[in-house]
């Protein structure tokens, strides 16, 4: 894995979460607009396989992981996870869930410098999970109580380490994190 590309991906991940939440918060975006953007993203992704779309292909070369099944897969699943959260939860919970994804998942990758293996994962470090929990909780606490933010982030970032699968296909953390965080935060 190219560490330079991975760092850029995580910065993009964080910035995308902040922009999405801000645009949703000020009502520039809504569930329907997000769905249209997802469909447009899928169309652009498919077109980029056959044509050189100057800006899109540059973006994919600089931010996409090698070997993804679909160009821009990470961004597409990020939008889908956000859409699911917006559809399932009240607005504050959905925005908090997107922040757990944006902040928590981005900061947990800093844990690659850690030394203590996460007991829930073969590939992750405990330091990263702790950083992700704290960052996700801080972001989410802008919209929900600190208790809801903390426990939502804690459970979501812990579940993310489990590497859950359906039909032997790993569930993407961009789908898993906001949904789990939202369900937990809804209990408060």
The whole-number average pLDDT for the span 122-147 is 91
pLDDT band of residue 51 (cuts 50, 70, 90) is confident
Domain count across the chain: 1
The whole-number average pLDDT for the span 48-54 is 81
The tokens 């991975």 sit on which residue?
6
Give the residue among 4, 78, 14, 22 at the shortest CA–CA distance from 45: 78
SS3 of residue 117 by DSSP: strand
Dihedral sign for Cα 114, 117, 122, 127, please.
Answer: negative
Domain containing 137 equals: 3-186
Give the pLDDT confidence score for residue 77 in this predicted structure.
94
Give the pLDDT confidence score for residue 5 in this predicted structure.
67
Q: Residues 82, 90: contact at Cβ < 8 Å? A: no
Model-level pTM?
0.89
The tokens 């208790």 sit on which residue?
147
Which neighbouring-strand residues pair with 165? Answer: 170
Q: What is the pLDDT of residues 155-166, one digit of tens each?
A: 999 998 777 767
**In whole angstroms, what is the distance from residue 34 CA to residue 163 CA?**
27
pLDDT band of residue 150 (cuts 50, 70, 90) is very high
């Amino acid at each position: 894995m190219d560490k330079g590309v991975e760092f850029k991906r995580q910065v993009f991940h964080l910035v995308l979460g902040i922009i999405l939440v801000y645009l949703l918060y000020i009502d520039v975006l809504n569930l329907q607009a997000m769905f249209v953007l997802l469909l447009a993203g899928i169309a652009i992704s498919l077109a980029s396989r056959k044509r050189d779309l100057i800006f899109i292909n540059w973006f994919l070369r600089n931010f996409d992981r090698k070997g993804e099944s679909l160009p821009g897969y990470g961004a597409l699943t990020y939008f889908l996870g956000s859409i699911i959260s917006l559809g399932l939860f009240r607005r504050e919970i959905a925005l908090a869930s997107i922040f757990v994804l944006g902040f928590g998942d981005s900061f947990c990758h800093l844990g690659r410098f850690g030394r203590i293996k996460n007991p829930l994962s073969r590939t992750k470090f405990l330091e990263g999970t702790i950083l992700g929990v704290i960052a996700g909780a801080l972001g989410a606490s802008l919209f929900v109580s600190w208790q809801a933010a903390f426990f939502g982030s804690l459970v979501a970032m812990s579940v993310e380490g489990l590497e859950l699968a359906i039909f032997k296909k790993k569930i993407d953390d961009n789908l898993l994190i906001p949904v789990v965080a939202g369900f937990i935060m809804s209990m408060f």
